[in-house]
Amino acid sequence: MKNAERRSQVLAIARDVFAEKGYHAAKIDDIVQRAHIARGTFYLYFTDKRAVFGELLDDLFGRLRTAIRRIDVTAAEPLLDQLRANVRRVLALLFEERALTKILVSDAVGLDPDFDEKLLAFYGQVRAVIEGSLAEGQRLGLVQPCAPELVATAVIGSVKEIVYQTIFGRLQASADDVVSALFACYGRALLR
Amino acid sequence: MKNAERRSQVLAIARDVFAEKGYHAAKIDDIVQRAHIARGTFYLYFTDKRAVFGELLDDLFGRLRTAIRRIDVTAAEPLLDQLRANVRRVLALLFEERALTKILVSDAVGLDPDFDEKLLAFYGQVRAVIEGSLAEGQRLGLVQPCAPELVATAVIGSVKEIVYQTIFGRLQASADDVVSALFACYGRALLR
Amino acid sequence: MKNAERRSQVLAIARDVFAEKGYHAAKIDDIVQRAHIARGTFYLYFTDKRAVFGELLDDLFGRLRTAIRRIDVTAAEPLLDQLRANVRRVLALLFEERALTKILVSDAVGLDPDFDEKLLAFYGQVRAVIEGSLAEGQRLGLVQPCAPELVATAVIGSVKEIVYQTIFGRLQASADDVVSALFACYGRALLR
Amino acid sequence: MKNAERRSQVLAIARDVFAEKGYHAAKIDDIVQRAHIARGTFYLYFTDKRAVFGELLDDLFGRLRTAIRRIDVTAAEPLLDQLRANVRRVLALLFEERALTKILVSDAVGLDPDFDEKLLAFYGQVRAVIEGSLAEGQRLGLVQPCAPELVATAVIGSVKEIVYQTIFGRLQASADDVVSALFACYGRALLR
DNA sequence: TATGAATGAGCTTTCATTCAT
DNA sequence: AATGAATGAAAGCTCATTCAT
């Protein structure tokens, strides 16, 4: 097995272990045992435990960033469809990557100041995108007057909570259900 | 210092230490040093670290439960005002109890299965109240058709995220701002 | 309740607690709780935990010393009857004082060098008495030639082991059974 | 140093430390310092302190079981010689393994219910062997009528006490002295 | 590149004892 | 005489990380 392959194998196993046990309860031993490698080998691929976790998080952040596209008012595609597609892509990714999502909404929270910062930075970026879209919409007269930073935060929180409750089995909802519900709330309220 | 006094002193200090450092980084030593008591004294009042944390959480949960009142359709007070008062009480409590709120939205998440369960149970109760209100409203023709469990979850998520961002200084908003924004979204969208 | 009364009440409770849990597992708390006194009160009557244990042991040693009487060859009572009476008194005492006996044969062993010394000193005294009787008997031509120190030790060990096994429920035997068995062995073997 | 080697090195050192200080006074630190290993290394080879002790005890039990052989009435070797050989093997083992013997007769007693059980189980097995031999001897008319369970217990106690007193320096006796003395008592008394 | 034995700082918890009231 | 809150030394154990092979 070549280097990169082994690396991503360990990464995938670490992801599952973190998701199952949580960051602190997950031991390096759990990971290396499941990966059938020696303890020392782990440190050939990663500098330390935090680094693996950070990498997993960054990976998800990257893919989420790709999924979230700024609304293009000049594009042919109707704005609402663009929005819907955005939410669908995000939810599809999160529902598909259960382990990573669990890590994101549960383990990474309050882990330590650096990770808190990482999370806040990511959510800040997402918020900026949503705020930008809202501001653009208001400029074009498509969106009702509102406090964009609060609405954007509320939207993020809604998605997070729905995903969180779904991940922990307290909510059964398909991506489409969620899209519909979110549009029932925010669409109706915000669009003119 | 008498028993109950010392107990709540330690509790308050533990709360601050947890809020500042996070559950795992907070050491019993940090707590006792700041309280100017011996390490053993801590264990006189609490069985262990988890127990203090659990108590702090339960305390906040209790106060939040008190703050959240089921909408009474038979009351003289207009329903919207009842809603607004609910949200205001919750936000006032959370904004006032910064340390506890930090613990709630950050440290308690993903701490361990028991605390996860505790959180989920609490949010489940709150969701039940909101769902109940929505269902009641729909029965009375006051609320648009919608998926109550998703909308209720979205509302909780919105509040959580706004509080979270505020606590971490990424958002500046008064309780009133938040109430307005939430009503702008959910009020407009849900009420007929 | 007057001083001495309270003292012996605590002593009796300590004895039971030691017997039930063993020296190390027995906590001062167990004793004071059962005695319905405060922790500090315990230290008004005893200097420390070891002291209570030592006192219990000394008490039993004292009573055993009283029970064991040197064989008096000048007395009217037949020597064999004197012997039998000795063993019976010892066994009666031990079987009656189960808790103290448990402490003696189990908890006190290997507790620490001081207690080891205490035990060895006591057994040494008993051995001296038995050795003395054997030597006397040999002088009078009543006892077969034998190694008195080994035989005396063997006798002590026999009694200890029978008592030990009885205390722990592995042996059911009355004092009389034991007396008979011991005489079957040692009597037959040693007496001319 | 390879795995098994290191393990038995630590085991031997633990044995000596237990024998010198007694189980409770023996600290993990004492063991690792003497072994020139880090504290964590100890836990690489043993789950905890109790486990090492248990292993030492089991080791001695195993060797004692090997030393004690059931009397074979059909064998060419005279029964008395078989008996003598048994006692000699046991004593030789115990006198040779001073540290382990000290642990057996002193530290393991009253350590905790599990170890008490272990001891009682072992002595129970030994007693069963002796009782069996006595019963067999009675059937063949070689042994006087007696209470086998009491006599067997007495024999065990005799050996234990002699060994105990020897280990603690209160008795000077070679294995042969002991064999002679025991046969002087039990042989003369029991054999026809 | 891979191993896994070794490390040791660092943590929580216990409990006999003290002492101000 | 009695209390019980406070003490703090002391110990067992964990586990991320290192490094000689």
> Sorting pLDDT into bands at 50, 70 and 90, what band is D192?
confident
Q: Compute the radius of gyration of chain A from its Cα atoms.
A: 19
**What are the tens digits of pLDDT across the range D29-52?**
999 999 999 999 999 999 999 999
Partner A contacted by B153 (CB < 8 A): yes
Distance CA A31, CA A29 (A): 5
Which residues from chain B sit within 8 angstroms of residue A170, using beta carbons? 120, 123-124
Beta carbons within 8 Å of C100's beta carbon, 6+ residues apart? C15, C19, C56, C59, C60
Q: Place B1 in a pLDDT band, splitting at 50, 70 and 90.
A: low
pLDDT computed for residue B62 by the predictor: 97
| Partner-chain residue, chosen from A150, A162, A189, that has the shortest CB–CB distance to B153 | A162
Residue of B nearest to A107 (CA): B110
pLDDT, average across residues D150-159: 95
Q: In angstroms, what separates the C-alpha of D48 from chain C's closest C-alpha?
A: 18
**Euclidean distance between CA atoms B45 and B48, whole angstroms:** 9
Q: Which of C153, C156, C179, C192 to mutate against chain D (most D CBs within 10 Å)? A: C153
| pLDDT of res. C1 | 61
pLDDT tens figures, B7-48: 999 999 999 999 999 999 999 999 999 999 999 999 999 999
Give me the pLDDT at residue B28, please: 95
Could you tell me the pLDDT band of residue D145, with boundaries at 50, 70 and 90? confident
Distance A21 CA to F21 C1' (A): 34
pLDDT given for residue D47 in this prediction: 95
Instruction: Indicate yes or no: CB of B185 within 8 angstroms of CB of A109.
Output: no
Is A171 part of the contact surface with chain B (CB cutoff 8 Å)? yes
- How many angstroms is C1' of E9 away from CA of D41? 14
Mean pLDDT of the residues in chain D: 93
Q: Is the CB of D43 under 7 A from strand F?
A: yes
Q: Inform me whether the pLDDT recorded for A190 exceeds 80.
A: no
The whole-number pLDDT of residue D95 equals 94
Task: Over range A2-24, report the average pLDDT.
Answer: 94
Using the CB atom, is residue D114 less than 7 Å from strand F? no
pLDDT band at D2 (very low <50, low <70, confident <90, very high): confident
Backbone phi and psi for residue C143, each to the nearest 5 degrees, phi listed first: -120, 140
D29 touches strand F (CB under 7 A): yes
Find residue C191's DSSP bridge partners: C143
Mean pLDDT, residues C146-169 taken together: 95
Residue D1's pLDDT is 62
Q: Can you tell me the distance from the alpha carbon of B109 to that of D36, in angstroms, rounded to the nearest whole number?
A: 43
Q: Is the pLDDT of residue A191 over 80?
A: no
The chains in contact with chain B, meaning 3 or more Cβ pairs closer than 8 Å, are A
pLDDT tens digits along D166-180: 999 999 999 899 998
Q: Is the pLDDT of residue C139 over 70?
A: yes
Reported confidence tier of residue B99, pLDDT bands at 50, 70, 90: very high
CA-to-CA distance for C34 and C10, rounded, in angstroms?
Answer: 9
pLDDT tens digits, D60-77: 999 999 999 988 888 899
Three-state secondary structure call for residue B161: helix
Domains of chain D and any CATH numbers: 1-46 (1.10.10.60), 50-190 (1.10.357.10)
A130 near A152, Cβ under 8 Å? Answer: yes
Lowest mean pLDDT among A139-143, B27-31, D21-25: A139-143
Q: What is the pLDDT of residue C71?
A: 85
At C116, the pLDDT band (50, 70, 90 cuts) reads very high
What pLDDT score was predicted for residue D80? 83
- Asked if B185 and A189 touch (Cβ cutoff 8 Å), the reply is yes
Please state, in angstroms and rounded to a whole number, the distance separating the CA atoms of residues C103 and C122.
15
Residue C11 has pLDDT above 90, yes or no: yes
* Distance, CA of B102 to C1' of E11, in Å: 24
Q: What are the angstrom distances between the C-alpha of B177 and each of A77, B90, B120, D6?
A: 34, 14, 27, 68
Q: What is the pLDDT of residues B146-191, one digit of tens each?
A: 899 999 999 999 999 999 999 999 999 998 999 988 888 888 877 7
What percent of chain A has a predicted confidence (pLDDT) above 70?
99
Q: Does nucleic acid strand F have an atom less than 7 angstroms from the CB of B112?
A: no
Q: Give the whole-angstrom CA distance, residue B153 versus residue B163.
A: 15
pLDDT tens sequence across A72-106 = 888 899 888 888 899 999 999 999 999 999 999 99
What pLDDT shows up at residue A1? 61
Among D184, D87, D99, D97, smallest CA distance to D130 is for D87
Both structure tokens of D53:
């002790």
pLDDT tens column, B53-91? 999 999 999 999 999 998 888 889 988 888 889 999 999
- pLDDT (mean) for C41-48: 96
B36: left (phi over 0), alpha (psi -120 to 50) or beta: left
- Is A140 (CB) below 7 Å from strand E? no
- So what's the pLDDT on residue C103? 97
pLDDT higher than threshold 70 for residue D183: yes
Gap between the Cα atoms of A118 and A98, Å rounded: 20
Q: For residue C26, what are its two tokens?
A: 């027995």
Confidence band for A142, pLDDT divided at 50, 70 and 90 = confident
pLDDT digit string, tens, across residues A51-71:
999 999 999 999 999 999 988
What's B186's DSSP letter? I
Query: How far is Cα A125 from Cα A102, in angstroms, rounded to an integer?
Result: 20
Tokens of C171: 């042996």
Distance CA C69, CA C191 (A): 19
pLDDT over threshold 90, residue C185: no
Band of residue D184 on the pLDDT scale cut at 50, 70, 90: confident
In chain C, residues 54-73 whose CB comes closer than 8 Å to chain D: none
Task: State the Cα–Cα distance between residues C88 and C86, nearest whole angstrom.
Answer: 5
Residue the block writes with tokens 């237990």 = D18
Please give the model's pTM, rounded to 2 decimal places: 0.91
Q: What is the C-alpha to C-alpha distance for residues D1 and A106, in angstroms, rounded to an integer? A: 44
> Which nucleotides of chain F are near protein (any atom < 7 Å from a CB)?
1-20
**List of chain C residues whose C-beta atoms are within 8 Å of the C-beta of residue D157:** 154, 157-162, 164
Radius of gyration of chain C (CA): 19
